[in-house]
Amino acid sequence: MYLSRRLLVLPLALAATAAAGLVPGAAATAGPGAPAAAGDPLSYVVNSRTDDATLDRVEAAAEDAGGTVVATYPQIGVTVAHSAHPDFGDRLCAVRGVRSAGATRTAPLESTAAAPQDGPFRPYEGRRAGLGGGDRSAAAAARGVPQEPLEADQWSLRVVRADRAHAYATGSPRVTVGLLDNGVDDTHPDLAANFSAARSADCVGGAADTSPGAWRPWPGGGVAGHGTWTAGQVAAPRNGVGIAGVAPDVTIASIKASGPGRGFIYAESAVCALVFAADHGIDVANMSFSLDPWHFLCSDDPDQRAILDAVTRASRYATGRGVLQVAAAGNGSRNLADPTFTDVESPADGTPVPRTVDPAECPVAPHMLPGVVSAASVGSEHLKSDHSDHGLGVIDAAAPGGDDHQIPDTPSRDPYVLSTWPGGEYSSGPGTSAATAQISGVAALLKSEHPHAPPARLRALLYAQADNPGCPYFYDPDGDGVANAVCRGDDRRNSFYGAGVVDALDAVRR
């Protein structure tokens, strides 16, 4: 998730795998960072042709090789399996019709349920959801748009002009945004009215669990509320309770993809979540995370090639089924267009080994996959957040994610983004995860206005209504006289904002 460098998503990384993002701690058995040894069980993805005969061969070969098949996705030719045999991937690659196969992690399965990681979230002191209110917003109170109790501190709504947009449109309940995250507390008084249990599931591990409540957050502190936090930014209703989302009358669903503790999102969970979204009527997939454990996926490594193959297949399938995908760019202040980028984070579930990569050849998934909207973040002054990753040709759009150097003129003067938190509470946090959620909200408003628009058309509409501030002459948010980053491009498309900061008001008025 992207929270703080890794989480944004989760405030800065579950939007990153926890950065900006759509977050780590101490392992249950082998400590976090302990690599798998020979004989330790790992999870694998096997990518093949989609015909029944090939899929049958794959399942049979997996069992013959001592593996256990967890799930098969015939729509895209991806099989998820567990095995403790170190040559499992090689043996499956030899099966006729298989294109790639590899382990999705470097730590054994048992070691991934680590203790929660602390995040940059701040509790909103003294204010809970018990402030009255009811169901959906009655079209923003006949367009009078009364302010929500905590809205004065929602500077982010004003940056994207959602507060003004709600006088014209608040989104359609027929449009559903799926939160591919670490779970959503659907009992929260500021989310319950807009939640769809029928379109929610737990996909952690690679197989969808639709039992009641499976989609809810894992217990624990740290970034455990990340999915609930992103959900409120998308669609908290105008109901006299707490806050308002960018699209307060659209429907939300939770497709849990992040594991407990450290919040890793592995390929099998992302594949399950994207296929589930595609097959259950999700219109916009909010992906405030980056995949673990490899921040960049390089095809010259068989495991990374298999991961990239599997997730790309799932993403293309979702796009073909009408799902617009929005994903966090990350919170490491990195130039993702640098052809000599040094990756010092991979593998995240083992001992990182620095390596030089070209992001054009080794993309970050999911935000650099074809057709996915890559989200960067800005602060209250519409300037790129210091933490936000950037890159010409990489970033597609921007939205509020907060910045310690940009202090809003609000009662709390909190530079982070305020939203819902499990247990009827509220919290603020930074990261491209927040930007992703708000872009998803604007996309949901556009989908409400253009219900038959496919993902490609929605992307074009999203970019057309964005407001691009252009490159700053000198980017020095901390004021130390040294440029923190260099912006490339012009006021039509650049490395800081892509097409620009999304604008909800223009989205519903055009």
What pLDDT was estimated at residue 120?
Answer: 75
Q: What is the DSSP string of 225-268?
A: THHHHHHHHHH--SSSSS---SSTTSEEEEEE-PPSTT----HH
Spatial CB neighbours of 56, under 8 Å, sequence gap ≥ 6: none
* pLDDT tens digits for range 326-371: 999 999 999 999 999 999 999 999 999 999 999 999 999 999 999 9
Q: How many Cα atoms occupy the beta-carbon half-sphere of 155 within 13 Å?
A: 24
Cα 218 versus chain centre, distance: 17
Mean pLDDT of 476-499: 96
What does the block give as tokens for 421?
């938190």
What pLDDT was estimated at residue 220?
Answer: 73
Fold annotation for 42-104: Alpha-Beta Plaits (3.30.70)
| Full-model pTM | 0.90
What pLDDT was estimated at residue 36?
Answer: 55
pLDDT at 14 over 60: no
Same fold, 42-104 and 123-147+154-509: no
What pLDDT was estimated at residue 169?
Answer: 96
Domain segments of the chain: what residues?
42-104, 123-147+154-509
Mean pLDDT of 103-107: 96
What pLDDT was estimated at residue 139?
Answer: 43
pLDDT at 27 over 60: no
Q: Is 137 exposed, middle or buried (0-12, 13-18, 19+ CB in 10 A)?
A: buried
Question: What is the dotted CATH code of the domain comprising 123-147+154-509?
Answer: 3.40.50.200
> What one-character DSSP code corresponds to residue 81?
E
Residue 324, helix vs strand vs coil? strand
Mean pLDDT of 134-147: 55
What pLDDT was estimated at residue 124?
Answer: 72
Mean pLDDT of 218-232: 87
Q: How many Cα atoms occupy the beta-carbon half-sphere of 468 within 13 Å?
A: 21
pLDDT at 474 over 50: yes
133 pLDDT band, cuts 50/70/90, is: very low
* pLDDT tens digits for range 411-440: 999 999 999 999 999 999 999 999 999 999
